[in-house]
């Protein structure tokens, strides 16, 4: 996997310099060779952004190198800094204590970054295809339950990860591993047989099924026979025969799937494959045979299991129940084999809540015990729960059982309505305000969900969800709208980079430096499966450009300055559009 700073920028005409950082690195390596340090020194040249950017653009802590040189770090730093002379790219190298702070020439920086952005060279545009194949198993809702706020996380995280990996050149298979099999579906079926209403189902499948879900849970408490009935229905369903259960399953599945299209299209989420658990119905026998052939299957209390003690997992992995039916594990195992055969993935990411950590540890453990190479690709990407505030003010898990689930549609509608109000107040002349409100409102919710580290629990809070100021989706989108507005107002095409005097952009150094951080942000997001790194990047860039625009006018500026700033504004808009695009959010022209 290439590291961020190894990604090459497009070469400029007549120039051999590639990326600023790699240029600096080369100079440093040459200097180190000059100082006759051992070969391992090369690995110690780590350039990081300084904590405080007033120090410089990038910094090198010379601790390890100094040790190698058998010198006190400050002395060594001074000596090394001395060796780095200014050139076309490097403005200065200054030792302060054990650190060396480097500054790039502003004109060179502007030229490199803005040229790369304008020509859509990687990392700003899509990278050339590489040999990475990434399967992303995401959203995967239990379609017998309503699509509520809890389902949004996997959907939105997975969608962003698909886009991030594609941007980096990977072949991506976005897979919706629908929960359309197993006991939950059998329960829904049973509920429908007892309490269902066809008219209501057609009117709003999701609401009706939610009612049925609640009713079933309530009734089952009083009458445990219902659970047995559901188990029997599942057994009949899994028999493979064309029976009542199968027809009922097909009907309910079709209705739910139709209903789920609503939230998916509003969120702008698409899948490359919709292969639910039922898809693996006829592939589980082969999977079980393969487990058996590997000699790892054991019998325990009438069920078939794989023990995983040697992997430090105390709970055996259960693959077939006493009544002969299969489980979640069985289907995930069959799915792993299927994906291996069809896609030859280098990574399979499962975007599933952290409460299922054990499940995926077991899945990986079984594959490892079988000595299946695909085990190495299996990677659980866990995320935190959605918590709601109880009347006592404590944060607790959303309990859809008690019926306090919040439908995603409701949340989106509220956000859209609020945005509509803001538009009426701030921009009453806006064309097609309803479409803009829909877009900005939905984006606000998505952005909010992608802002914090995924492992953290999300505290569901209407005020935070509907906040449009500060670090929010609308804040970033507003920056895009302002930039677009400027581009419209100047009423001329954006000049090509070859005609620009980049020295005029020295006052935009903070914007330019932030632009340079894009590559590492995207790479880290992919490596760590952490879209929030990109989200926070867009906030940072929007902040810098907002701040810059406050006292740097484009329209009305002297023509050379105007042209240079125009290129900057256009680049910022492009980069924000790309960044938001990686999150599955579109940048509005107006809002």
Residues 522-541, interacting with RNA (CB under 7 A): 524, 527-528, 532-533, 536, 539
The answer to whether 580 touches 480, Cβ cutoff 8 Å, is yes
* Residues contacting 429, CB < 8 A, separation 6+: none
Residue 590 in the binding site for RNA (CB under 7 A):
yes
- Nearest CB to RNA, comparing residues 66 and 370: 66
| Residue in 121, 193, 231, 274 binding RNA, rule: CB under 7 A | 231
Residue 15 beta carbon to RNA: minimum distance, rounded to whole angstroms: 26
The answer to whether 518 touches 577, Cβ cutoff 8 Å, is no
Site string for RNA, 150-189 (x = CB under 7 A): -----------------------------x-xxxx-----
Site string for RNA, 348-377 (x = CB under 7 A): ------xxxxxx------------------
The answer to whether 269 touches 139, Cβ cutoff 8 Å, is yes
Residue 457 in the binding site for RNA (CB under 7 A):
yes
Q: Quick one: three-class SS letters along 357-421?
A: HHHHHHHHHHHHHCCCHHHHCEEEECCCCEEEECCCCCEEECCCCCCCCCEHHHHHHHHHHHHHH
- Nearest CB to RNA, comparing residues 264 and 468: 468
| Residue in 264, 311, 407, 468 binding RNA, rule: CB under 7 A | 468
Residue appearing with tokens 């007033």: 54
DSSP 303-346: EEEE--GGGT--SPEEEE-TTS-B-HHHHHHHHHHHHHHHH--S
- Nearest CB to RNA, comparing residues 204 and 485: 485
- Nearest CB to RNA, comparing residues 56 and 584: 56
- Nearest CB to RNA, comparing residues 45 and 490: 490
Measured CA to CA, the distance from residue 256 to residue 360 in angstroms comes to 27
Residue 322 beta carbon to RNA: minimum distance, rounded to whole angstroms: 4
- Nearest CB to RNA, comparing residues 86 and 417: 417
How many H helices and E strands in the chain?
Answer: 21, 14
Q: Is 302 left (phi over 0), alpha (psi -120 to 50) or beta?
A: left
Residue 464 in the binding site for RNA (CB under 7 A):
yes
| Residue in 14, 295, 393, 470 binding RNA, rule: CB under 7 A | 470
Map the footprint of RNA across residues 283-322, applying CB under 7 A. 300-303, 305, 314-316, 318, 321-322
Residue 202 beta carbon to RNA: minimum distance, rounded to whole angstroms: 26
Strands (E), 150-270: 171-176
- Nearest CB to RNA, comparing residues 119 and 184: 184
Map the footprint of RNA across residues 551-570, applying CB under 7 A. 551-556
Residue 65 in the binding site for RNA (CB under 7 A):
no
Measured CA to CA, the distance from residue 276 to residue 191 in angstroms comes to 21
| Residue in 112, 142, 278, 443 binding RNA, rule: CB under 7 A | 142
Q: Which of 48, 71, 52 is nearest to 60 (CA)?
A: 48
Q: Looking at 152-160, 258-266, 342-350, 391-399, which segment touches RNA (CB under 7 A)?
A: 391-399
- Nearest CB to RNA, comparing residues 203 and 586: 586
Residue 199 beta carbon to RNA: minimum distance, rounded to whole angstroms: 29
Site string for RNA, 11-50 (x = CB under 7 A): -----------------------------------x-xxx
Residue 434 in the binding site for RNA (CB under 7 A):
no
- Nearest CB to RNA, comparing residues 344 and 528: 528
- HSE at residue 573, side-chain half, CA atoms within 13 A, is 22
Residue 474 in the binding site for RNA (CB under 7 A):
yes
Residue 427 beta carbon to RNA: minimum distance, rounded to whole angstroms: 5
- Nearest CB to RNA, comparing residues 97 and 373: 97
The answer to whether 584 touches 445, Cβ cutoff 8 Å, is no
| Residue in 486, 505, 541, 580 binding RNA, rule: CB under 7 A | 486
| Residue in 481, 505, 519, 571 binding RNA, rule: CB under 7 A | 481
Q: Which of 492, 511, 489 is nearest to 502 (CA)?
A: 511
Measured CA to CA, the distance from residue 232 to residue 183 in angstroms comes to 10
Q: Which of 398, 437, 390, 393 is nearest to 418 (CA)?
A: 437
Map the footprint of RNA across residues 435-454, applying CB under 7 A. 436, 440, 451-453
| Residue in 147, 210, 350, 475 binding RNA, rule: CB under 7 A | 475
The 8-class DSSP code of residue 456 comes to: S
* Residues contacting 171, CB < 8 A, separation 6+: 129, 132, 133, 134
Measured CA to CA, the distance from residue 485 to residue 446 in angstroms comes to 24
Total interface residues for RNA by CB under 7 A: 105
The answer to whether 365 touches 153, Cβ cutoff 8 Å, is no
- Nearest CB to RNA, comparing residues 101 and 155: 101
The answer to whether 480 touches 587, Cβ cutoff 8 Å, is yes
């Amino acid at each position: 996997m290439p590291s961020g700073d190894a990604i090459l920028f497009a070469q400029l005409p007549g120039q051999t310099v590639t990326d600023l950082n790699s240029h600096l690195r080369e100079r440093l390596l040459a200097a180190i060779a000059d100082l006759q340090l051992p070969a391992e020194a090369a690995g110690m040249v780590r350039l990081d952004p300084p904590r405080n950017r007033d120090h410089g653009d990038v910094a090198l802590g010379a601790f390890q190198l100094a040790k190698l040189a058998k010198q006190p770090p400050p002395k060594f730093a001074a000596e090394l800094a001395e060796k780095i002379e200014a050139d076309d790219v490097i403005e200065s190298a200054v030792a302060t204590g054990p650190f060396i702070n480097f500054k790039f020439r502003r004109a060179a920086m502007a030229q490199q970054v803005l040229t790369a952005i304008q020509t859509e060279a990687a990392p700003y545009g899509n990278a050339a295809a590489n040999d990475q194949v990434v399967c992303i198993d995401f959203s995967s809702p239990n379609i017998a339950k309503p699509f509520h706020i809890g389902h949004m996380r996997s959907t939105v995280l997975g969608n962003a990860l698909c886009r991030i990996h594609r941007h980096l050149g990977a072949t991506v298979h976005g897979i919706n591993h629908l929960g359309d099999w197993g006991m939950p579906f059998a329960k829904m079926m049973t509920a429908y047989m007892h309490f269902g209403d066809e008219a209501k189902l057609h009117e709003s499948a999701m609401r009706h099924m939610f009612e049925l879900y609640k009713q079933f849970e309530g009734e089952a408490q009083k009458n445990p026979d219902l659970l047995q009935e559901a188990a029997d229905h599942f057994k009949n369903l899994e028999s493979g025969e064309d029976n009542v259960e199968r027809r009922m399953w097909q009907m309910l599945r079709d209705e739910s799937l139709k209903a789920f299209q609503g939230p998916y299209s509003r969120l702008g989420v698409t899948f490359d494959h919709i292969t639910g658990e039922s898809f693996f119905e006829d592939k589980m026998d082969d999977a079980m045979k393969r487990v058996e052939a590997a000699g790892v299957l054991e019998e325990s209390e009438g069920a078939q299991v794989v023990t995983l003690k040697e992997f430090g997992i105390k709970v055996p992995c259960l693959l077939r129940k006493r009544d002969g039916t299969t489980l979640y594990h069985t289907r995930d195992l069959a799915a792993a084999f299927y994906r291996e055969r069809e896609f030859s993935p280098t990574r399979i990411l499962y975007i599933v809540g952290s409460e299922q950590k054990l499940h995926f540890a077991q899945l990986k453990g079984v594959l490892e015990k079988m000595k299946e190479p695909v085990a190495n690709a299996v990677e659980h990407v866990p995320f935190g729960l959605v918590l709601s505030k109880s009347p006592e003010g404590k944060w607790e898990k959303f309990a859809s059982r008690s019926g306090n689930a919040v439908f995603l549609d409701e949340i989106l509608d509220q956000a859209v309505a609020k945005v509509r109000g803001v538009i009426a107040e701030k921009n009453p002349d806006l064309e097609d305000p309803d479409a803009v409100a829909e877009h900005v409102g939905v984006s606000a919710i998505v952005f909010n969900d992608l802002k914090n580290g995924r492992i953290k629990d999300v505290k569901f809070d209407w005020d935070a969800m509907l906040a449009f100021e500060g670090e929010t989706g609308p804040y970033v989108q507003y920056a895009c709208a302002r930039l677009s507005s400027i581009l419209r107002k100047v009423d001329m095409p954006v000049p090509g980079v070859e005609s620009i005097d980049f020295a005029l952009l020295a006052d935009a150094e903070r914007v330019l430096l932030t632009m340079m951080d894009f590559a590492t942000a995207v790479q880290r997001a992919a490596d760590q499966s952490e879209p929030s790194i990109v989200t926070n990047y867009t906030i940072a860039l929007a902040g810098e450009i907002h701040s810059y625009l406050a006292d740097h006018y484009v329209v009305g500026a002297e023509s050379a300055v105007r042209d240079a700033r125009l290129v900057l504004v256009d680049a910022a808009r492009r980069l924000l559009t790309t960044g938001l695009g990686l999150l599955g959010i579109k940048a509005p022209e107006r809002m």
